[in-house]
A and B are shown apart, each in its own frame.
Chain A
Amino acid sequence: MTTEGGFLQRSPHPSSLYDVLDLILDKGLVIDLYVRVSLVGIELLTIDARIVVASVDTYLRFAEAVNRLDIAETGAKDLPEFIEDLGQGGGRGKTKGALEGAKDSIKDVFSGDEDDDGKEKASPRRRSRSSSSKDDDE
């Protein structure tokens, strides 16, 4: 019954079990002494869904999330410039600042036959920063 009305994901009622629980549990008028039915096998799910926000695990997940960003998500406006660099035989030493990492990421995808110094085989899609720093010095 979920429908797409423009950019809102609409449904007449909550569509996932989590949303049902979130909407209904703990809600509604209470008549003292008479709320006596418990849910079986659902309480645990509720607790699991309520992830504690400030934890080391969360931080590591967030770090992973920003590290796997690619150029589509940050600095996309510089893509034409970067492709131009590629056309000139590589952008080594030209990319600086916050966008550098993003460009490295897309470069790695293209770099199979380019800029192969044979040192980074352990991690084929990602080159280390030390390698790039070395490139900058060349």
Chain B
Amino acid sequence: MSGESTSGTPSTATYVYGVVRAGDAPTIDAAGVGGHGRVRNVSDGGLTAIVSDVEEGFVEAGREDLERHMAILEQAALSATVVPLRFGTVMPDDDAVTAELLRARAGELDELLAALDGRVELSLTGTYEERIFGEVVDEQPEVAALRQRVRGRDENATYYDRIRLGELVANAMAAKRQHDTEQVLAKLRPLADDVHVGDVAHERSVLSASFLVHRDRLPEFDQAAEEVAAENRTRIRFRYAGPLPPYDFVGGKAGPWG
């Protein structure tokens, strides 16, 4: 560790949350990940890294650390365009942050900050209500017929019929999922600068999508999302979170979490 380090005692390292333009670097008064240090800024050139001290041996984090990481980035995103870093990024000291992040990747960070300028992420997840199965029965004669055959009968005697029934339902659900996802995206994509559609998380999930939206268009996007939810109110429950830091729009998918 360098003797000129400003990161405190030799037993600490520097946890990095994200990078903003030095001009709109926020002042965040909060305890950092690991609970060891307070949030502070490290600046070089036109860029500022939001950091805090962690104990050097800090390698295992819990849920509260994840929530701190998220809360600190959200607070930064209130007033600044922020490039969030992957959760768990720890550099040896502030000098490393300056040399290996702010200087070494200045060009890339500048480009990202320009592309993200004034934009935030909105997260929309949809889950089918239980009654979606009624839709499937009404729309698929084969499902309705098989259902009649197995309904109320001995579970063992109908085992293979039930598997077949479930498979037909699963196929119908997949088709619905694709159709409904397209409908939602058709409505919201035009209002976003970028869209990321994540993996389906659950067998009744419709979609999990993130939208990069300019702050100026937030009211419009908000209303469109509300309309999507209203149109599907009897069949899909939508959860909507944001504005958030643009976690999904800073590249990089490979990492220790797979």
What is the interface of chain A, defined by CB distance below 8 A to chain B? 5-15, 17-31, 34-43, 46, 49-51, 53-54, 56, 58-67, 69, 72-75, 97-98, 100-101, 104, 123, 126-130
Contact = CB atoms under 8 A, between A and B. Distances in A.
Given A61-B166, A98-B141, A19 B152 contact: no
Nearest to A59: B166
Nearest to B243: A12
B162 to A, nearest CB: 4
B148 interface: yes
Contacts of A62: 133, 165-166, 169-170, 173, 203
Contacts of A53: 170, 174, 200, 203
Task: Name A's interface SS.
Answer: mixed
Nearest to A53: B203
Contact of A73 (B83, B131, B202): B131
Contact of B247 (A28, A43, A98): A28
Given A59-B169, A65-B133, 11 more contacts: A21-B66, A26-B253, A27-B247, A38-B61, A39-B66, A59-B163, A63-B163, A64-B162, A104-B151, A127-B152, A128-B153
13 contacts: A9-B237, A30-B85, A30-B255, A34-B90, A37-B15, A40-B61, A46-B257, A61-B166, A67-B147, A69-B133, A98-B141, A101-B151, A104-B152
A126 B18 CA distance: 59
A23 to B, nearest CB: 6
A66 B143 contact: yes
Contact of A18 (B148, B201, B256): B201
Interface in B218-251: 225-226, 229-230, 233, 237-244, 247-248, 250-251
A42 to B, nearest CB: 7
Given A28-B85, A37-B90, A19 B252 contact: no
A70 B43 CA distance: 63
B101 A11 contact: no
Interface string B52-93: 000000111111011101110010000000011111111100
Closest 7 CB pairs between A and B? A59-B166, A37-B88, A73-B134, A126-B152, A74-B134, A27-B247, A7-B229
B87 A9 contact: no
Given A12-B242, A98-B141, A25 B202 contact: no
Given A5-B226, A7-B233, A12-B74, A35 B86 contact: yes
Nearest to A74: B134
B199 to A, nearest CB: 7
Interface in B113-138: 123, 125, 130-131, 133-134, 136-138
A123 B154 CA distance: 10
Contacts of B85: 28-31
Contacts of A97: 144
A22 B241 contact: no
Contacts of B186: none
A85 to B, nearest CB: 18
A54 B144 contact: no
